[in-house]
Amino acid sequence: MFVSPAYAQVAGAGGAGAAFGSFLPLILIFGIMYFLLIRPQQKKMKELKGMVEALRKGDQVLTQGGIIGKIHRVGEDGVLEVEIADGVKVKIAKHTIVQVMNKTEPATAA
């Protein structure tokens, strides 16, 4: 009826093998999360950064706000001047560009 807590303990519990076995599911979950979530997101961000860096005058772009316009001037400070209608130009930040609709071809040297 009065059992000492010492008798309730398991004799010789696992050691280092049991500790690794308990962390194995956590390691597997992290690996799965990396390949399903983190890695594709990093790849997408790298592609988006490359697209934004390659913007130039004449490209037709779509902004996060849904505005479609043609780049009139590319500033060095991360600001673009985009023409959204005839004679209507707005300044927007480069990082708000989500898609390049039409890419202009670079001028060839003759």
- The tens digit of pLDDT for each residue in 24-60 reads 999 999 999 999 999 999 999 999 999 999 999 999 9
Kindly tell me if the per-residue pLDDT of 1 is higher than 70. Answer: no
Count other Cβ atoms within 10 Å, centred on residue 97. 20
Please give the C-alpha separations between residue 28 and each of 5, 35, 95, in angstroms, as whole numbers: 35, 11, 35
In a domain, 90, yes or no: yes
Domain span including residue 82: 56-102
In a domain, 41, yes or no: yes
For residues 75-84, give the mean pLDDT: 91
pLDDT digits (tens, 9 = 90+) for 5-26: 655 555 555 566 777 788 899 9
Instruction: Kindly indicate the confidence band of residue 4, based on its pLDDT and cuts at 50, 70 and 90.
Output: low
Question: How high is the pLDDT of residue 5?
Answer: 61
Residue length of the chain: 110
61 and 31 within one domain: no
Question: How high is the pLDDT of residue 3?
Answer: 60
Cα gap 42→9, rounded to integer Å = 48
In a domain, 8, yes or no: no
Cα gap 69→46, rounded to integer Å = 24
Domain CATH for 77: 2.30.30.140
